[in-house]
Amino acid sequence: MAPRAYWKGYLKLSLVSCPIALYPATSEREKISFNQLNKATGHRIRYRKVDAETGEDVPSDQIIKGYEVAKGEYVEVQPEELEAVAIESKRTIDIEEFVPKSQIDECTSEIPITLPLMAMLASRLSRFIREAIRKEGMVAVGKVVFASREHIIALEARDKSMLGVTLRYPYEVRKQADYFDEIADEKVPKDMLDLAIHIVNTKRGDFNPEHFEDEYEDALKELIEKKAKGERIEAPTPTRSNVVNLMDALRASIKAEGKNEGRKARAASDKEGRSIEWQAKEGKLTWLGVSTQ
């Protein structure tokens, strides 16, 4: 059964438009999720909407929105007031510009959605746009309204349809400098870089998501199966990993290439007197951090 579209409207370019529909490109349905239960009774927990001061239940028709301007002080906003400022949903994705795909910052990406054609009628426009941006390596950028909020949306060619990704506005994206500005711009020693490049080349390949398994999801399924059978669950004994010198770890990684596990290691310092800590396990290097001695 085909998924149901959660938005239907038109894709518009200048004075021409064509019908289009939005479908979720991803699904969380197969993932394991848990309910909250009362440990004493085993009954499921229900959430109630109560007055924070009186503790009394509040019916839905008495609940309004409010913005906190000071501690405990709110500006109340009525539904009709929100409707007065809500952006009218024109059911149209109006393409405003075409930009190189490389200029779209991944940090601004939100929800991926697929955009297959709605009908053969007028689908010619969508095909023209799709093939044009595919050939030029461009992305169509426009605006769309979901739930009275306006979003930026980027459309790129994807097989026989297009992939749409809603983008965050600049005020929603945190600046890197707020977190990483104090990190020194240090030059990587050539011998270390050469070893790292060698490891990269030995593991070079084509990305295939089928090669990756959700081990945690599998562990959850096994846990539930054992619990359902009444089996006892025991936590695994944690294994301690030693710390190795970065250069030694790189060389060991090249030699081991996934064959040696639990390699003995040692701590060392670089020329600036800092402890560079890596973990060598199953032929992989895991960064543990840098500390000043």
Report, as an integer, the average pLDDT of 24-29. 83
Q: What percent of the chain has pLDDT over 90?
A: 17
Please, what is the average pLDDT of the chain? 77
pTM: 0.65
Q: What is the C-alpha separation between 169 and 152, in angstroms, rounded?
A: 8
CB of 264 closer than 8 Å to CB of 242: yes
| CATH assignment, 7-26+86-172 | 2.40.290.10
Instruction: Return the pLDDT at 284.
Output: 46
Instruction: Return the pLDDT at 269.
Output: 38
pLDDT digits (tens, 9 = 90+) for 141-197: 999 888 778 889 999 998 888 899 999 998 888 888 887 787 788 888 888 888 888
Does the pLDDT of residue 114 top 80, yes or no? no
Does the pLDDT of residue 121 top 50, yes or no? no
E strand residue ranges, the chain: 7-13, 16-24, 65-70, 73-77, 92-100, 109-115, 138-146, 149-158, 161-167, 274-281, 284-292
Instruction: Return the pLDDT at 267.
Output: 33
Does the pLDDT of residue 140 top 50, yes or no? yes
Instruction: Return the pLDDT at 25.
Output: 85
Report, as an integer, the average pLDDT of 195-214. 81
User: 181-212 as b/e, with b when 16 or more CB fall inside 10 Å?
Assistant: eeeeeeeeeeeeeebbeebeeeeeeeeeeeee
Higher pLDDT, 18 or 255: 18
Other beta carbons less than 10 A from residue 71's beta carbon: 5
Report, as an integer, the average pLDDT of 99-119. 77
116 pLDDT band, cuts 50/70/90, is low
Does the pLDDT of residue 28 top 60, yes or no? yes
Residue 290's φ and ψ, nearest 5 degrees, are: -125, 130
pLDDT digits (tens, 9 = 90+) for 233-254: 777 776 555 545 666 766 776 6
Does the pLDDT of residue 7 top 90, yes or no? no
Q: What residue spans in the chain does CATH classification 2.40.290.10 cover? A: 7-26+86-172
Does the pLDDT of residue 129 top 90, yes or no? no
Other beta carbons less than 10 A from residue 176's beta carbon: 10
Instruction: Return the pLDDT at 97.
Output: 92
Does the pLDDT of residue 258 top 80, yes or no? no
pLDDT digits (tens, 9 = 90+) for 78-102: 888 877 776 666 788 888 999 998 8
Instruction: Return the pLDDT at 261.
Output: 37
Instruction: Return the pLDDT at 288.
Output: 47
Does the pLDDT of residue 289 top 70, yes or no? no
